[in-house]
């Protein structure tokens, strides 16, 4: 099955509103119709990004806007937090959940993340669910177990319909912002492992009478961690890699557009 590639720019805590607006305008000039282009700006830039991203352009390029976080509860006394319904009301289509920076600096546990996933999906917001091992976990040969736990706690109480709203991003923590990319073997074997986990859990649940494709076949699995213009093509050519989640290199047009083009090939 041919899966359309996705390239997501995770802007993290970068970009003023002016910077965000001008980069989105530049991205609108790209015409790579075989790639879904998504950006995840900060909360303050989300609404503008939605408006600019959906503006019609001569080449028909649409930029989908993703939030970087969401609260697990639907509403209430949670000062400073943002709900699924709020995101929905401004046209945000999906949200990153489980990024290692949220796990590490904001103590988000697998069970909190699982709740966030459920809440997002309840409001029909797509989920980009991040998983990844620490360097010490890989060195102890425990990386497959770590990813299995993150995925099973985070996603396995979804049903056969809900899992189709999820994109998984494999981001080895040791490769994020370090300039150290996982090598092709490490990436491909982990992506294949992730697809197998989803297959074992969900594929037998599909509704054969409506000809639904198996969840594991349509699942997009992105790689993240020091994806740059010079390594994107090789990474995106791997069999089970369906695009990338890009940090630093998504902050400027030259690098990000080169990476997007690499996904189109």
Tell which phi-psi region holds residue 86, choosing left (phi > 0), alpha (psi between -120 and 50) or beta.
alpha
99 catalytic? Reply is yes
- 245 in contact with ligand 13P (CB under 6 A): yes
Whether 73 is catalytic is no
User: Please, which residue, 176 or 241, has the CB nearer to ligand 13P?
Assistant: 176
Give the CB-side neighbour count of residue 91, counting CA atoms within 13 A: 14
Torsion, Cα of 197, 203, 204, 208 (10° steps)? 180
DSSP E strands in the chain: the ranges are: 5-10, 35-40, 63-67, 94-97, 126-131, 166-170, 221-224, 243-246
Shortest distance, position 227 Cβ to ligand 13P, whole Å: 6
Look up residue 13 and give its two tokens.
């805590």
Residue 7 within binding range of ligand 13P, rule CB under 6 A: no
Q: Return the exposure string of 123-140: e unless at least 16 CB atoms fall within 10 Å of the residue's CB, then b.
A: bebbbbbbbbbbeebbee
Residue 216 CB, nearest approach to ligand 13P (Å): 23
CB nearer to ligand 13P: pick between 41 and 247: 247
Among the listed residues 154, 172, 225, 243, the single contact to ligand 13P using CB under 6 A: 225
Burial tier of 106 (Cβ tally within 10 Å: 0-12, 13-18, 19+): exposed
User: Contact between 132 and ligand 13P (CB under 6 A)?
Assistant: no
Contact predicate 145/107, CB 8 Å: no
Question: Is 232 a residue that touches ligand 13P (CB under 6 A)?
Answer: no
Catalytic choice (99, 133, 137, 191): 99
* Cα 226 versus chain centre, distance: 15
Position among 98, 154, 172, 224 found at the interface with ligand 13P (CB under 6 A): 224
246 binds ligand 13P (CB under 6 A): yes
- Complex with ligand 13P: residue 67 or 249, whichever CB lies closer: 249
Closest separation between CB of residue 32 and ligand 13P, Å? 19
As a whole number of angstroms, the distance between CA 92 and CA 85 comes to 10
* Contact flag: residue 39 with ligand 13P (CB under 6 A): no
Among 177, 205, 217, 252, contact with ligand 13P (rule: CB under 6 A): 177
Report the residue number, 112 or 130, with the smaller CB distance to ligand 13P.
130
Q: Does 171 bind ligand 13P (CB under 6 A)?
A: yes
Decide: is 247 part of the binding site for ligand 13P (CB under 6 A): yes
Asked if 235 is part of the footprint of ligand 13P (rule: CB under 6 A), the reply reads no
Nearer to ligand 13P, 20 or 226 (CB): 226
Burial class (CB in 10 A: 0-12, 13-18, 19+), 49: buried
Q: Which residues are known to be catalytic?
A: 99, 171
Q: Which residues bind ligand 13P (CB under 6 A)?
A: 10, 99, 171, 176-177, 224-227, 245-249
């Amino acid at each position: 099955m041919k899966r359309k590639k996705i390239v997501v720019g995770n802007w993290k805590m970068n970009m003023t509103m002016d910077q965000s607006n001008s980069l989105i305008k530049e991205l609108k000039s790209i015409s790579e119709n075989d790639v879904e282009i998504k950006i995840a700006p900060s909360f303050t830039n989300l609404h503008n990004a939605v408006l600019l991203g959906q503006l019609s352009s001569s080449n028909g390029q649409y930029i989908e806007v993703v939030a970087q976080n969401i609260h697990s509860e639907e509403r209430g006394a949670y000062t400073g937090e943002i709900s699924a319904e709020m995101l929905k009301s401004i046209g945000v289509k999906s949200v990153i959940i489980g990024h290692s920076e949220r796990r590490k600096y904001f103590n988000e546990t697998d069970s909190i993340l699982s709740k966030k996933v459920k809440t997002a999906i309840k409001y029909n917001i797509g989920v980009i669910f991040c998983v990844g091992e620490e360097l010490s976990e890989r060195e102890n040969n425990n990386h497959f177990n770590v990813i299995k736990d993150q995925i099973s706690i985070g996603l396995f109480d979804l049903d056969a319909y809900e899992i189709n709203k999820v994109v998984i991003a494999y981001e080895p923590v040791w490769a994020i912002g370090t300039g150290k990319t996982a090598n092709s073997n490490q990436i491909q074997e982990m992506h294949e492992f992730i697809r197998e986990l989803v297959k074992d859990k969900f594929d037998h649940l599909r509704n054969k009478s409506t000809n639904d494709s198996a969840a594991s076949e349509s699942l997009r699995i992105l790689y993240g961690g020091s994806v740059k213009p010079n390594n994107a093509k090789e990474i995106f050519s791997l069999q089970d890699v369906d695009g990338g989640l890009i940090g630093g290199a998504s902050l400027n047009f030259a690098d990000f557009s080169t990476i997007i083009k690499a996904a189109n090939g």
